[in-house]
Amino acid sequence: MEPRETGEGSGRRTVAVAGASGLIGGALARSLEADGHRVVRLVRREPRTGDEVRWDPSSGRLDPAALAGCDAVVNLAGAGVGDRRWTDEYKRRIRESRTGGTAALAGAIAAMDTPPRVFVNGSAVGYYGDTGDRPVDEDAPPGRGFLPELTVEWEAAAEPARAAGVRTALARTGLVVSRGGGAWGRLFPLFRAGLGGRLGDGREYWSFIALRDEVAALRHLLFTPGLEGPFNLTAPLPVTNREVTAAMAKVLRRPAVFAVPAPVLRAVLGEMSQDVLGSTRAVPRRLRESGFVFSCPDVESAVRAALDD
Q: Are 227 and 290 in contact (CB under 8 A)?
A: yes
Strand 197-199 to 52-54 pairing? unpaired
Measured over the CA atoms of residue 75, residue 80, residue 82 and residue 87, the dihedral's sign is: negative
Residue 244's pLDDT band (cuts 50, 70, 90): confident
Whichever domain contains 167, its CATH number is 3.40.50.720
Helix (H, G, I), strand (E, B), or coil: what is residue 30?
Answer: helix
Res 174 pLDDT > 70: yes
Q: How many domains does the chain have?
A: 1
Residue type, position 178, single letter: S
Percent of the chain with pLDDT over 70: 85
Residue 152: half-sphere exposure toward Cβ, Cα within 13 Å: 12
Residue 114 lies inside a defined structural domain of this protein: yes
Tell me how far apart the alpha carbons of residues 165 and 162 are, in angstroms, rounded to a whole number: 5
Res 85 pLDDT > 70: no
What 3-state class would DSSP assign to 308?
Answer: helix
Q: Does residue 99 sit within a domain?
A: yes
Domain-located, residue 45: yes
Return the pLDDT at 10: 57
Asked if residue 249 belongs to a domain, the reply is no
pLDDT category, 173, cuts 50, 70, 90? Answer: very high
110 alpha-carbon distance from chain centroid: 23
pLDDT surpassing 60 at residue 45: yes
Q: What is the pLDDT of residue 4?
A: 34
Q: Does the residue 268 lie in any domain? A: no
5 pLDDT tier (thresholds 50, 70, 90): very low
Q: Is the pLDDT of residue 253 over 70?
A: yes
Higher pLDDT, 256 or 150: 150
Nearest to 303 by CA among 160, 196, 206, 184: 184
How many CB atoms neighbour CB 302 within 10 A? 29
Task: Give me Rg for the CA atoms of the chain.
Answer: 19
- Answer yes or no: is 100 within a domain: yes
Per-residue pLDDT tens for 121-155? Answer: 999 999 999 999 999 999 999 999 888 999 999 99
**Residue-range definition of the domain harbouring residue 289:** 8-176+207-236+281-295
pTM above 0.85, yes or no: yes
Tens of pLDDT along 195-231?
A: 666 666 678 898 999 999 999 999 999 999 999 999 9
| Gap between the Cα atoms of 126 and 278, Å rounded | 10
| Residue 235 neighbours by CB distance under 10 Å | 27
pLDDT at 42: 95
- pLDDT of residue 273 exceeding 70, the answer is no
CA dihedral 252, 186, 280, 285 (to 10 degrees): -70
